[in-house]
A = this chain, B = another copy of it.
């Protein structure tokens, strides 16, 4: 086990009607906030009105900024920063999924910073300050409600980059599984693919002595395998929605990477896809991850055999670990298909035209990943395996 530090102060407020606590929690920090959200869905289903009414009960002033798109854009982040400065706002409430939360985090670090907020994403400067943010989560997927990370797309060149700092973790996150009842099956499945990917980016490590975190990863993974098919059949199944929602946060609150080196190559390989083609991150991960697995499994057949046996129940066979590994990968891909996801780029009409360009951009700061370090040619091979 590697030495590590772990601290996650985000307060989780989980359960039915929990969004009604937003006002009493926020008033501990601020009396004037930016209410940040995406499209119309929070208005369509009444959440917008409920949130505003609970904020008004505490006399909290509200300035609104909607319109966050999937793969949130730098332009709106800059608009949010200006708005907060003009209106002297010192708290942001993000109501939505990962894109809204990431956008809120980027605004929050941008407000006290005098330079261009993109500097943080280009690692030109370090994050020292942030105004506090909080979350009402509507889509279990990105895990941004508990993480200190934000991923933003710069429209100028279609760069998608991430930053991370403990100070960026939300002060509190409200998770009401009922708010996810209205998610369509495709959106639900894409979210689950994202959560599974967060677990696997941690699970696939070359560190051998990680027994507890291996098992915690497996526990979280298996919870998703069990509950996802249930909610795809019964959209309003509270118990199963609750499991998926809480698993999404546990997968990404950094407990699962304590003591190990994590990978994140698949995330970076996918970011190139969603930056150019504007697909959902989870949609891309469902395609990239199986390809990545096929490309790298020979570098640690034992770990892939463990993945097959412990998570997928592949029969243990001591003289055929490779067979176990391949069967695990196959069952993973089968599961993605079962929940309605595509696992090949051709199925979402992405051809190989820009593979070279993406592989180059993905590795422009050097090889990606740690399980196996992947250079430009490796990344190109993975895109080709995903064709």
Binding site for B on A (CB under 8 A): 1-16, 18, 172, 177, 208-209, 211-212, 215-216, 218-220, 222-223, 226-227, 238-239, 242-243, 246-247, 250, 255, 258-259
6 A–B pairs (Cβ distance < 8 Å), ordered by A:
A4-B12, A7-B11, A7-B12, A212-B219, A212-B246, A219-B219
| Given A242-B209, A250-B212, also A7-B10 (CB < 8 A) | yes
Contacts of A226 in B (CB 8 A): 211
A242 to B172, CA, bound (A): 31
A259: chain B residues at CB < 8 Å are: 14, 242, 246
Residue among B8, B12, B212, B238 making CB contact with A247, cutoff 8 Å: B212
Q: Copy number of this protein in the oligomer?
A: 2
A208: chain B residues within 8 A (beta carbon): 239
In the complex, the answer to whether A13 meets B18 with C-beta atoms within 8 Å is no
Given A209-B239, A219-B216, A222-B215, A5:B1 Cβ within 8 A: no
CB pair B15 A212 closer than 8 Å: no
Whether B9 and A9, one on each chain, are in contact in the complex, defined by CB atoms closer than 8 angstroms, is: yes
Q: Given A3-B16, A219-B218, A255-B255, are A212 and B11 neighbors across the interface (CB < 8 Å)?
A: no
> How far is A211 from B227 in the complex, measured between Cα atoms in Å?
9
Q: A215-B223, A255-B255 are in contact. Are A6 and B1 (CB under 8 A)?
A: no
A215 touches B220 (CB 8 A): yes
Contact A220 B212 (CB under 8 A): yes
User: Across the interface, which residues of B come within 8 angstroms of A215, CB to CB?
Assistant: 218-220, 222-223
A5 to B15, CA, bound (A): 9
Tell me, rounded to whole Å, the shortest Cβ–Cβ distance linking A264 to chain B: 21
> A1-B14, A212-B246, A212-B250 given. 14 additional CB < 8 A pairs?
A1-B243, A2-B15, A3-B18, A5-B11, A6-B12, A7-B11, A7-B12, A12-B258, A14-B259, A211-B226, A212-B223, A216-B250, A242-B259, A246-B258
CB distance from A14 to the nearest CB of B (A): 5
The answer on a CB contact under 8 Å between A13 and B9 is no
Give the residues in chain B near A242, CB-CB below 8 Å: 1, 209, 259
Write the chain B residue with the least CB distance to A5: B13
Minimum CB–CB distance from A227 to chain B (whole Å) comes to 6
User: Given the complex of chains A and B, what is the CA–CA distance between A18 and B1 in angstroms?
Assistant: 13
